[in-house]
Structure 1
Amino acid sequence: YVAGNRALARSLGYAEPADVIDKTDFDLHPLEHAKAYRADDLEVMASGRRKRLEETHLEADGRWRWVDTIKPPFADGHGQLAGTVGIARDVTDRRKVEEELARANAGLRSEVEQRGEIEARLQSSEVRFRAIVEASPVPLCIISMPYGETCWTCTSATTAAGSIRRQCERAIHTACLA
């Protein structure tokens, strides 16, 4: 590191930015992360193009944080590639919200799927019910309450010259008003 700000120093457990100068990723980070950070730097220097990624970072207090990192190449005063500049922004809270939303969406998708299955079973049940009731030789009516309006009648009830339907409606209507 040739420079750093106070936020970087504090995240690494140092009081001042000067405390990280002349240190490497291997001095400041766990080995596997230091290797990954160094590989990113080498990729940027080889390509001459910036790289942006989200990665984890171990804070001095032992907490892992997600950081959005941008690593552009850095040239010295003679225009020669000298390294990379690391710009990192803590996005841990955003990642937590995204994970919560993903879990909520998964739960909603599951509920929608379950409701679809229930609806399919209800439709199948209704088809079976209608087939059984329509085949009944006994006239049947479904009457809504409290006003005695006919919601549905089977074929045998409607073919009986409508008289059974009307009789049912009158009887229910009379009973409701009594």
Structure 2
Amino acid sequence: MADKAITVDVPEDRVPEFYLWFAAFLASEPGAPVPGGRPGPGRGGPFGPGGGEPGHRRRRGWVPPVEDAAPWTADDTAEAAWLYGKLAPPARALFDALLAAPGTRIAGNDLAARLGLEKGAHGVAGILAWPGRYCRKLGRVMPVSTAGRDDGGTDYYMEPEVAAVFAAAVSAR
């Protein structure tokens, strides 16, 4: 089936959150409910207050889950190599930047500048749509984590344990 272009207005401060929700929508099976239901903090359900994946630290924002997804482990090097190999150049550059600084939160605007993205921080969030679909296919959580910032932006990071899996996968390529 062909794709259909749809334009929607999204409040400026919620665009990264929308992209993350849209990634979960694309990763879900056709006709299935989108994991987490409606996006956004304070919405209740498994991804509202007190919800989310264990170890995902956030003050505000939303982490797109993959229902029944497994965390990345040291045994997942082959899966990580497959995922990394499927990444488009901008997504690969994003992963590489996060792999270079495991556990370090990097502001979306800073990442966008490093990656030369015209859409700024919104472009960073958009890059994660296809990796989200690939993670769904693998049954794994998204390796990139997010956290809200005091200025309303979003930080991106990769937990050190997850970064180690991907670093091993990249070096084995």
Range into which the TM-score falls when normalised by the shorter chain: under 0.3
Higher helix share: 1
Instruction: Determine which structure has greater relative contact order: mean sequence separation of CA pairs < 8 Å that are 6+ residues apart, divided by chain length.
Output: 2
TM-score of the two chains, using structure 2 as the length reference: 0.23
More strand by share: 1
Provide TM-score, normalisation by structure 1.
0.23
Say which one has the larger Rg: 1
